[in-house]
A = this chain, B = another copy of it.
Amino acid sequence: MFLYNACLIFFTVIFMEIVEKTAADIKNLRIQGATNIAVKALTAITDQIKSLNPKTIQEALSQLHKMKETLFQSRPTEPTMRTGVKYILYNLQRNLPDPVNISDVISSLASQYITLLKEAKARIQVIGANRIVDGMTIMTHCHSSIVSGIIIKAFQDGKKFDVVCTETRPLYQGHITARELSEKGVKTTLIVDSAMRWAVQQKEVDLILVGADAITSEGVVLNKIGTRLLALAAEEYNVPFYVATPSFKFSPETVIGNLEKIELRDPGEVWDSPPENLRIDNPAFETVARKYIHGIITELGILPPGYLYGAIVEKYPFIFSD
């Protein structure tokens, strides 16, 4: 028994590397994008469980909890990935499989979650594209694969519309959006971030679509810095402001009062050779209050922000498991 435990520790130490390496890649932004991060993290778990080859459910759970801790520490906010890890743990505990099948079951649960995610994104594209009608001007900020997906779906459905996107300093993710859409043939205009309000008015924007990094139990959305400014401009001209996101971006910690952390990133992203003594603050995200959000386009339909929590609390119990 002692020997067994020692081996367990030994293997854990060795094989933990797969998950730890993935966590490090997430931390250093070598892996980006909420879905991509979730897929890579679940794949790492699956691979590592295969290597560790746990003999009992208890052993598997203990290993999974360690991996969970490692992955959760990689970024302050990453609900899609976190929910995926919880999905495996939740279902494993509720449907205790035969020990010989453990790694297969975990692998299968990981696949199920990834399928859930992909189906959610496909569904959101259909629902979001329904909202777009001929003649609209749509505005977005930063790059969101969900938002781009909706726009391209509507374009491929034959709808005629214009798009405005911001460059999104400091990392210019708006260039990705601009390139992606103009290459597909979508009529796209790019502006600097500070011209947001000008564009809402002068380009006669009809619809604003942004993604989400996290959503709280109160219906507050966390997204790329500048999103709230865009919401203020939308408010001034009463332009409908929609968030498009799988409901897996819900942050269950907020139910019990933990605020989402706003990451302050490397000042060098903003100015590589600043004057001495100048402080540079480089916040990654900001919050958008419930009152600015007309609706959240999710795989469950278009919801008012104050009901997202209500819509998932019974439907996705794994989100709320420990």
**A306 CB–B CB distance under 8 Å:** yes
The yes or no answer to A197 lying at the interface (CB within 8 A) is yes
Cβ-defined partner of A259 (8 Å) among B131, B270, B275, B280: B131
C-alpha spacing A170/B198, complex, angstroms: 15
Cβ-based interface call for A178 (8 A) = yes
A221-240 CB contacts (< 8 Å) to partner B: 224-226, 228-229, 232-233, 236-238
Provide the A275-316 mask, 1 if CB < 8 A to any CB of B, else 0: 111111111001001110011010001111111011101000
Q: Is the CB of A194 within 8 A of B225?
A: yes
Within A169-188, the residues touching B (CB, 8 Å) are 169-170, 175, 178-179, 182-183, 185, 187-188
Query: How far does the Cβ of A124 sit from chain B's closest Cβ, in whole Å?
Result: 9
Q: A295 → chain B, closest Cβ, in Å?
A: 4
Count of this chain's copies in the oligomeric assembly: 6
Residues of B within 8 Å of A140, CB to CB, are: none
Query: Which among A41-49, A113-121, A249-257 touches the partner chain?
Result: A249-257
Say if the beta carbon of A133 comes within 8 Å of chain B.
yes
Docked-complex contact A304 and B218, CB < 8 angstroms: yes
Task: List chain B residues, Cβ under 8 A from A224.
Answer: 194
**Of the residues B196, B282, B310, contact of A229 by C-beta under 8 Å:** B196
Is there contact, CB below 8 Å, between A170 and B182? Answer: no
**Do the beta carbons of A190 and B257 come within 8 Å of each other?**
no
Which residues of chain B are within 8 angstroms of A289 by Cβ–Cβ distance?
A: 294
State which of A23-31, A68-76, A92-100, A199-207 sits at the interface with chain B. Answer: A199-207
A283 touches B202 (CB 8 A): yes
| CB < 8 Å neighbour of A195 from B202, B283, B304 | B283
A201 to chain B, nearest CB (A): 7
Which of B194, B259, B304 sits near A290, CB closer than 8 Å? B304
CB distance from A234 to the nearest CB of B (A): 10
A130/B169 in contact, CB under 8 A: no
CB-contact partner of A192 in B191, B204, B225, B311, under 8 A: B225
